[in-house]
Chain A
Amino acid sequence: MKIKGFTLVELILGLAIAAIIGLCVYNMFWQAMKLDDKMRHVHENYMEVLMADQAFSHDLENAITLDFSASYPDSVIFDGQKTEFSFLTQTPKGIKRVRYYSGLLDQNGVTKTMIGRVTNPSNNMAKGPLPVEFLLRQESSLADWLNETTDETSTQIVAAGLKKESFNCLYAPFVKDLHTSGSKGIDYKDSWDSKGLPLAVSCNFILYDPKNPQEGLMFKRDIFLAPVGSYHNEQ
């Protein structure tokens, strides 16, 4: 009997046990892989948030004012709207006009984000179009900005996972006696059309969160433009 090998009952029982154990292990690994994938997606989004923070805080902290009123009376040095803002900033390549806004790029535009992620939210084959858009940084030369041309204009995707229409900006004017009033004295407004630079720009945006697609992850970054001392002296 021993030489004959396994009986049919033994074989079926063995297969059944192996199948149950295999199913449990497969299920566990499938869940773990899904969680890992989700985590990687969120991780990439957070990396891009840090990148976006670095990009616009660096640009805003180096913002400058130049007077073009004689030659170009319509030029606005710092143009702040609810969903976008543009200004002059110092870069290693000279003075540039930088614009931050949210939206999607056309097919011929850049598709790589600053951390090297290739993404296209309007063409997600697995789940259909996601309700996300890009945070974009457009850099133009002074000549391009003043003459309204696009010869030396480039656009870069700063972050890719922003929830649609969630990028909002607020602008605070200089306040006298800020040292006495503290943060309570700062009053943010929807737009900025004054001649000089604002005291601060507050950027709010919501990251698309696959775990919680309705709410997402909200971020708020307050960037103070003027270097230490300059507005204290103005007071």
Chain B
Amino acid sequence: MNRMRLLRCARNDTFKSGFMLLEAILSVVIVSICLTFIAQSLLTNFRTGVRFQEMTRSLIVMENRLGLLYATNLSEEDFNPYPQPLDKPYDKFALSTRKDTINDHLKKVELQLNWPVDKPQGHLDVTTIIYSPDEN
């Protein structure tokens, strides 16, 4: 009986004394972990958005270039294996182009787009086979 009373008193004392330092630290840690996760997910969302924008622009650049290569029947003038910065509005991109002959009619074309020009962080590679009869 005395033991029970002693325990109850001890528990009541604990409640009256407020939170322990350990409890306070634990709750702060839990809250900060939750906030970190939320902040991280927002940041990831932002980064994904930026990457999507760059990807959209790079796809348009690639489509422009492939159309040009088809139209000029793979003119030598438009091939350069070293990254060349493009004209405005795509001046943040550098393009390198390569061509290999498969046979008299088929050419393997490799395009590589890097951005930004000074410190490339993103890239888009396209390899395709184009029907191109020899004109020479």
Contacts and interface: CB of A to CB of B under 8 A. Distances in A.
Contacts of B59: 50
B127 interface: no
Contact of B72 (A2, A183, A226): A183
Given A39-B49, A220-B64, A223-B67, A182 B77 contact: yes
A217 B72 CA distance: 29
9 contacts: A2-B13, A3-B16, A40-B49, A50-B59, A179-B74, A222-B68, A223-B67, A224-B68, A224-B70
Contact of B63 (A32, A43, A57, A178): A57
B101 interface: no
B42 A228 contact: no
A42 interface: yes
B124 interface: no
Interface string A64-103: 0000000000000000000000000000000000000000
Interface of A: 2-3, 25, 28, 32, 35-36, 39-40, 42-43, 46, 49-50, 53, 57, 178-186, 199-200, 217-224, 226, 228-229, 231-232
A226 B68 CA distance: 11
Contacts, number: 92
A200 B63 CA distance: 13
Interface residues of B, number: 34
A2 B17 contact: yes
Contact of A181 (B17, B57, B63, B77): B77
B73 interface: yes
Contacts of A223: 67
A220 B72 contact: no
B78 interface: yes
Give the 9 A-B CB pairs with smallest separation, nearest first.
Answer: A182-B77, A182-B75, A218-B89, A39-B49, A224-B71, A2-B16, A224-B67, A32-B42, A179-B73
B119 interface: no
Contact of A32 (B39, B64, B78): B39
Contacts of B128: none
Given A220-B60, A232-B133, 9 more contacts: A32-B39, A36-B45, A57-B63, A182-B72, A184-B77, A199-B71, A221-B60, A222-B67, A224-B70
A175 to B, nearest CB: 9
Given A36-B45, A218-B89, A42 B53 contact: yes
Nearest to B17: A2
Interface in B15-61: 16-17, 35, 39, 42, 45-46, 49, 52-53, 56-57, 59-60
A35 B50 CA distance: 12
B46 A53 contact: no
B104 to A, nearest CB: 15
B118 interface: no
A43 B35 CA distance: 25
Contact of B70 (A2, A3, A228): A228
Contacts of A25: 35
Contacts of B135: 179, 232
